[in-house]
Structure 1
Amino acid sequence: MAETITLPTDVPVLIIGGGGSGLTSSILLSDYGIASLLVERRSATSHMPKAGAHNQRSLEIFRRHGIATEIQTSGVPAENRLRAAWMTSLGGNDSIDARELYSIDLNGEGTFRQVYEKDSPELSAGLGQHLLEPILRRHAESRSLATVRFGHQLVALDQSSRDGVVATIQDDSGQIHSVRARYVIAADGGRTVGPMLGAQMVGRCGLAEMLSIYFRADLSPYVSDDVMAHWFVGPKHGTWAGGSLVKAGPHPWNRHSPTWTIHFMFPEGDPDIGRLTCNNALPRLQDLLHLPNLNAEILGVSPWKIDAVQIDQYRIGNVFFIGDAAHRQPPTSGLGLQSAIQDADNLTWKIACTLKGQASETILNTYETERRPVCKANVEYALFAFENQFAFEAGLGLNRAKTIEDRRAVFEEYFADTPLSETRRARAAEVFNTVRLELNPHDRELGFFYDTGALLSDNSPSPPRDPMGVNYHPTTRPGSRLPHAWLNDRGARVSTHDLGAVGEFVLLCGYGAAARRWFEAAYEIAKESGLPLVAIRVAPDGDYGDPTCSWSRLREVTEDGAILVRPDKYVAARYNGAVEDAKLSLTHALEVVLGKKLSSTVEASAQRLQSN
């Protein structure tokens, strides 16, 4: 007799989709004290090793929730993902086969490492979704407030009730369940919820036909230990048509990596479009790698398209769209899954505050206000990075080469031992170096900010942004990510991102004469309102020390000022110095952020200020 599957019939939050963003949402909501139900139509997590680069901002989120260390230790060691390299081919015996054209350090490693270490308590990590999602699923299922059900798909959504959403869910046995939820997070990649509710994707679709082949093979004779990704541009295959070969691990992660993935673009009219499967993809793989006798086991084949789109509404009623359900973009610059994880980070604390009565419903509107401009910029940037690689053809001198013979002649000139060939190589290096905007987009990863939303603007100018996306300028301007600095906790090193418990607002103040007033104001507000708010003094006689003055150089306020930080470690408000009434000022900021009055005792404070 089949086991009867049970689901909760009433939950605060229903999550549709068990990929990276859905599982992250489940974990974060649990840690904020909110129960949720996650349903995923697949029976298991992803089997394809896509989205394998996770930037510092995402690792900071995972750090806050106790997952970063496991991701780092499971991922590619730094010494095995130092470089990306462009080659004419992987194999072959011809004089222009297997020649390296250019290489660059990537993901904040090598020459970029010192800068990345300075700006965050976490480095980036390399771990494909086939390895990341099981970690996230295990953590989600370990939280007592989370119910996670794979093999369950959404059938219908009804938003006719003011109290929330009624979802009809079918499990893999055919059993139908009805679940009422106050809010729904659509993390389904845009497959189900958006079409049900009439949402539209706006932008450019189907820009290229792509295919990923996941395979097992011994490539150790042809690759280097420190290269994470190889791109191929040669006589036969042009940019992207030649493919991008990436280590899939998991152990070892050096040149003996047991599995690999190659992503490539089909030329227009290619007869293989739509027909390659695990059973017939080997010849194409052998051709791409220029290894006609390669013995490989095809583990997975996944077709996909290059899209640059964004949903027309991030919120429809009580349904919120995150990740690929809200925006889809090329994988270049690694901002796709990272944007999805950051969507979850932005939305979940606001849902938690609303459900706990700490914020009004209006705070939920700031999810779209804040995330839409950032994700739109990420979509556009990723498409630009994808198209930028086609410039490498011109840099190599291939712009007039029409046939394989023409392209071969260009490469022979490129590698020749002549002064002009040296110039050709120098020009190519200049063009190739622009790929740093894709492989080390440090400012794009950390420097994005919210102009309006759940914050109190101080009308300061926007921080500078690097047009190449590399150089990040930390700032405490409201709407910006809290800058990282290492503080001293009785001999132990603590990041500014480690301050405060999960879900807490943090008020950072210094050692000036007004610091105690800020401290006392925060204490009183927290006691009177029940809001999770903690004040922390960074001072020689305070909670944490700043012996290297790194925080003093970053805080952009005087020692009498204060900085209010949201639960997602974004600056909500800042005060350059002392104010007449610290409690009134801080209360005002929190009310603007939360969209709700905190306490009647504030009115007395305001009256005192007016009578003085």
Structure 2
Amino acid sequence: MTASVKSPRAALPPLGEDEWPEAVEVVIMGGGPVGMSCAILLAQRGIDVLLLERRDFVFRFPRAHLLNPRTMEAFHDMGVAEDIYAATPTHDRWRKAVWYTTATGPGRFDGLKIGEVPAWGGGPDAERYRASSPRAFANMPQLRLDPLIHRHAVAAAPGRIRAKQEAVDIRQDADSATVVIRDAVTDDVREVRARYVIAADGGRDSAALLGVELEGPRDMREVVNYHVSLDLSAWSEPDALLGHFLHPAGGARRRGTIQALGPTHYDRDSEEWLVSVAGWMVEGDPHDEAALFDSIRRMLGLGEDHAITMHSMTRWTYNGLVAKRFRAGHVFLAGDAAHKHPPTGGLGLNSGIQDAQNLCWKLAAVLDGQAPDALLDSYQAERRPIVAWYTAHSLENANRHPPIAAALGFGEDEAEGFRNLEVFVSDTPEGEAMRARVATEVAHNAHDYSQLGVEAGFHYEAGALVPDGTPVPGDPSDPTDFQATSRPGHHLPHVWLQSRTAQDGPAPSSHDLVARVGLTLLTSTSAAARWQEAIDLIGGALPVTVVAIDDADEAWRAARQIGDDGALLVRPDRKVAWRAAEMPADPSMVLDDALAVILRGGRAPAADPAEPFLKRIRAAASVLVQ
């Protein structure tokens, strides 16, 4: 059952290569995965978009690779998920992180395994990850992910994904923003007017054009990344996707990591690797390939003549930055333009895609006349505290390796470190005690690799929702703890609805019932008619789709946390916006009040909800081991 719904817009017609519109609804700055995801999400709603990328669409470096369940839900909505799953490893053995001294080598302690943890929904984490979402964790290096998303963006917004176009100015008035664009090939300058602009350019141009300050520590640790081909088949570790290296020569510091890039094998037989080496490991001329290769060989324990083919290299530093504002007039910041944090935890790309998902359904609702502009203010209210939390958590994850080195007895004296390794491998009470201490410190990295409470449990306390005063379930301070709940601001609980199997084919997830346009009201079959009557009385421009779930569906009854005649009002990003534990005496009045709060972007919090996380960012940065 549904309320009257405005007819969907037609697909965007192709735009000629030399055709430049005077005005569009949304200009997107930046052709990375966040910008292209915004283009897909908006184009699917028929929103007229124009994406500008200052460079070309040749994707040169691996960058991010881990795609968590909430991100895969967004990619499923875009029609991208199945392509990603088809290219991800076909087995689950890759789902672990390991620690070694080196990968191989002639020395007694070369190739020594220090420990491992399950990761990304593998091993003992598999069941709880499956229970959190209908979409599984995936692995796809951005080197291959970006071209895939680009193909989908070009198909969704034909002729509107433009390369070598740089935004050099943004002028705003009361109704729109005018973007001044320079063609990097011809040097031609043109202007395009837009109702709204999304800055997803990593802050390269938007930071200066908008004057939005990013607060937090900068340049805390230098890392050199290499995309290389090399043979690591001699490594004793058969399966792990990611390896960390600690060695007496490095003392308390991690020397670096390696990540299998495939494209065929995602283990020790990987054809390509992303090798990340701590900046201090590079000795000699940092621009000399021989010095760079030497740092790789020393970290991995490879011989001087071990062949390495360099594909690309980049240097970067750890930052812990969060924009003070996510909105500047008609312009919204998303992804790295709004927040920058270390890769520890794999939250950068994931948080950017979730920015896009949060922002784009709201933009579409406003542009379709279904909601006022005030709804867009909830983007900052919701996303800024979450990415501040992610930034703090990522920095804290970066500090989880030195305790392993300390438990091994690694310090300034390299010889002492080797003597402690003798104890570590010994069949003695001292060796057993040391191995227990090391195992404990390794296990603490579950906060990085089994962080389901962070990946699936992020929720909004303020924004386009109506809080009901109930406490957050479980332990919010434990990043591994995830408790499914229908509490407003949280993600809709996922269950497989067996009651729908017989007549509709395979059981859908509760997530699959959520409408892409407007809001969805989930209730029972026995209460659906009364809720539909209430919605019909309200009317309004924003469509509300009533979905009835069989009263006898036990899995849903256990998950919904409301009575048989209650209801959950769910947003297109599957966040619960409001819930009624039971049918109110006047459901239309109560629902109308709730919709009014949601559409104006919710109630402003009394204090900045990001501030506790900004304090954690500063605290973690102050003790970060270089």
Q: Do these two structures clear the TM 0.5 threshold for a shared fold by scoring above it?
A: yes
Q: 3-state DSSP class of the match of 2:250?
A: coil
Amino acid at match of 2:62: P
1:605 corresponds in structure 2 to: none
Q: 3-state DSSP class of the match of 2:437?
A: helix
The one of 574, 584, 593 equivalent to 1:588 is 593
Q: 3-state DSSP class of the match of 1:248?
A: strand
Q: 3-state DSSP class of the match of 1:460?
A: coil
The one of 568, 571, 578 equivalent to 1:573 is 578
Distance (Å, rounded) in 2 between the aligned partners of 1:439 and 1:181: 41
Q: 3-state DSSP class of the match of 1:37?
A: strand
The answer (yes or no) to whether the contact 1:34–1:145 under 8 Å persists in 2 is: no
Between stretches 181-190 and 258-267, larger displacement belongs to 258-267
Amino acid at match of 1:233: L
Q: 3-state DSSP class of the match of 1:47?
A: coil
Q: 3-state DSSP class of the match of 2:275?
A: strand
Amino acid at match of 2:383: R
Q: 3-state DSSP class of the match of 2:444?
A: helix
Please state how far the C-alpha of 1:145 moved relative to its aligned partner: 6.7
2:447 corresponds in structure 1 to: 437
2:374 corresponds in structure 1 to: 362
Please state how far the C-alpha of 1:532 moved relative to its aligned partner: 2.7
Amino acid at match of 1:498: D
2:550 corresponds in structure 1 to: 539
Amino acid at match of 1:569: R
Amino acid at match of 2:310: I
Gaps of 5+ in 2: 1-15, 602-626
Distance (Å, rounded) in 1 between the aligned partners of 2:36 and 2:536: 34
> Would the alpha carbon gap of residues 142 and 225 (structure 1) be closer, same or farther in structure 2, given more than 3 Å must change?
farther
Q: 3-state DSSP class of the match of 1:490?
A: helix
The answer (yes or no) to whether the contact 1:45–1:130 under 8 Å persists in 2 is: no
2:350 corresponds in structure 1 to: 338
User: How many percent identity over aligned positions?
Assistant: 32
Distance (Å, rounded) in 2 between the aligned partners of 1:277 and 1:19: 30
Distance (Å, rounded) in 1 between the aligned partners of 2:537 and 2:289: 64
> Would the alpha carbon gap of residues 588 and 272 (structure 1) be closer, same or farther in structure 2, given more than 3 Å must change?
farther
1:287 corresponds in structure 2 to: 298
Please state how far the C-alpha of 1:119 moved relative to its aligned partner: 1.4
Distance (Å, rounded) in 2 between the aligned partners of 1:353 and 1:570: 16
> Would the alpha carbon gap of residues 196 and 64 (structure 1) be closer, same or farther in structure 2, given more than 3 Å must change?
same
Q: 3-state DSSP class of the match of 1:558?
A: coil
1:151 corresponds in structure 2 to: 164
> Would the alpha carbon gap of residues 271 and 559 (structure 1) be closer, same or farther in structure 2, given more than 3 Å must change?
same
> Would the alpha carbon gap of residues 4 and 109 (structure 1) be closer, same or farther in structure 2, given more than 3 Å must change?
closer
Between stretches 140-149 and 381-390, larger displacement belongs to 140-149
Deviations 1:192-216 (A, max 9, x none): 1112221111011111011111101
> Would the alpha carbon gap of residues 239 and 536 (structure 1) be closer, same or farther in structure 2, given more than 3 Å must change?
farther
Distance (Å, rounded) in 2 between the aligned partners of 1:352 and 1:444: 27
Please state how far the C-alpha of 1:11 moved relative to its aligned partner: 0.9
Between stretches 355-364 and 488-497, larger displacement belongs to 488-497
Q: 3-state DSSP class of the match of 2:420?
A: helix
Amino acid at match of 1:453: G
Please state how far the C-alpha of 1:566 moved relative to its aligned partner: 0.6
2:419 corresponds in structure 1 to: 409
Amino acid at match of 2:349: L
Distance (Å, rounded) in 2 between the aligned partners of 1:326 and 1:126: 24
The one of 492, 515, 521 equivalent to 1:501 is 515
1:209 corresponds in structure 2 to: 222
Distance (Å, rounded) in 1 between the aligned partners of 2:327 and 2:589: 33
Amino acid at match of 1:532: P
| Aligned positions of 1:476-491 closer than 5 A | 476-488=486-498, 489-491=500-502
The answer (yes or no) to whether the contact 1:26–1:146 under 8 Å persists in 2 is: no
Please state how far the C-alpha of 1:217 moved relative to its aligned partner: 1.4
Distance (Å, rounded) in 2 between the aligned partners of 1:189 and 1:132: 17
Deviations 1:298-327 (A, max 9, x none): 111011110011111111111111111111
1:420 corresponds in structure 2 to: 430
> Would the alpha carbon gap of residues 271 and 490 (structure 1) be closer, same or farther in structure 2, given more than 3 Å must change?
closer
Please state how far the C-alpha of 1:4 moved relative to its aligned partner: 7.5
2:331 corresponds in structure 1 to: 319
Distance (Å, rounded) in 1 between the aligned partners of 2:405 and 2:140: 30
Query: Is structure 2 residue 129 aligned with structure 1 residue 124?
Result: no
Q: 3-state DSSP class of the match of 2:226?
A: strand
Q: 3-state DSSP class of the match of 1:475?
A: coil
The answer (yes or no) to whether the contact 2:341–2:348 under 8 Å persists in 1 is: yes
> Would the alpha carbon gap of residues 144 and 552 (structure 1) be closer, same or farther in structure 2, given more than 3 Å must change?
same
Please state how far the C-alpha of 1:394 moved relative to its aligned partner: 1.4
1:59 corresponds in structure 2 to: 72
The answer (yes or no) to whether the contact 2:168–2:209 under 8 Å persists in 1 is: no
Amino acid at match of 2:204: R
> Would the alpha carbon gap of residues 402 and 77 (structure 1) be closer, same or farther in structure 2, given more than 3 Å must change?
same
Query: Is structure 2 residue 58 aligned with structure 1 residue 48?
Result: no
Please state how far the C-alpha of 1:587 moved relative to its aligned partner: 2.2
Distance (Å, rounded) in 1 between the aligned partners of 2:242 and 2:72: 21
Distance (Å, rounded) in 2 between the aligned partners of 1:89 and 1:144: 47
2:38 corresponds in structure 1 to: 25
The answer (yes or no) to whether the contact 1:515–1:561 under 8 Å persists in 2 is: no
> Would the alpha carbon gap of residues 94 and 255 (structure 1) be closer, same or farther in structure 2, given more than 3 Å must change?
same
Please state how far the C-alpha of 1:582 moved relative to its aligned partner: 1.9
Deviations 1:167-203 (A, max 9, x none): 1112231222211111111111111111222111101
The answer (yes or no) to whether the contact 2:409–2:416 under 8 Å persists in 1 is: no
Task: Quote the RMSD (CA, aligned, Å).
Answer: 2.0
Where has structure 1 moved over 6 Å in runs of 4 or more?
none
Q: 3-state DSSP class of the match of 1:236?
A: helix
1:77 corresponds in structure 2 to: 90
1:112 corresponds in structure 2 to: 125
Distance (Å, rounded) in 2 between the aligned partners of 1:228 and 1:458: 42
Amino acid at match of 2:400: N
| Aligned positions of 1:179-218 closer than 5 A | 179-218=192-231
1:11 corresponds in structure 2 to: 24
Q: 3-state DSSP class of the match of 2:399?
A: helix
The answer (yes or no) to whether the contact 1:8–1:37 under 8 Å persists in 2 is: no
The answer (yes or no) to whether the contact 1:104–1:433 under 8 Å persists in 2 is: yes
The answer (yes or no) to whether the contact 2:36–2:153 under 8 Å persists in 1 is: yes
2:114 corresponds in structure 1 to: 101
Distance (Å, rounded) in 2 between the aligned partners of 1:230 and 1:158: 48
The answer (yes or no) to whether the contact 1:31–1:502 under 8 Å persists in 2 is: no
The answer (yes or no) to whether the contact 1:310–1:327 under 8 Å persists in 2 is: yes
Question: How many residues of Structure 1 are paired with residues of Structure 2 in the alignment?
Answer: 580
Amino acid at match of 1:367: Y
The answer (yes or no) to whether the contact 1:523–1:535 under 8 Å persists in 2 is: no
Q: TM-score under structure 2 normalisation?
A: 0.89
The answer (yes or no) to whether the contact 1:519–1:536 under 8 Å persists in 2 is: no
> Would the alpha carbon gap of residues 501 and 104 (structure 1) be closer, same or farther in structure 2, given more than 3 Å must change?
same
Distance (Å, rounded) in 2 between the aligned partners of 1:388 and 1:62: 31
Query: Is structure 2 residue 534 aligned with structure 1 residue 529?
Result: no
> Would the alpha carbon gap of residues 468 and 272 (structure 1) be closer, same or farther in structure 2, given more than 3 Å must change?
farther
> Would the alpha carbon gap of residues 555 and 321 (structure 1) be closer, same or farther in structure 2, given more than 3 Å must change?
same
Distance (Å, rounded) in 2 between the aligned partners of 1:9 and 1:201: 32
1:244 corresponds in structure 2 to: 257
Distance (Å, rounded) in 2 between the aligned partners of 1:175 and 1:358: 38
Please state how far the C-alpha of 1:589 moved relative to its aligned partner: 1.6
1:510 corresponds in structure 2 to: 524
Please state how far the C-alpha of 1:271 moved relative to its aligned partner: 5.0
Q: 3-state DSSP class of the match of 1:333?
A: coil
2:359 corresponds in structure 1 to: 347
Q: 3-state DSSP class of the match of 1:7?
A: coil
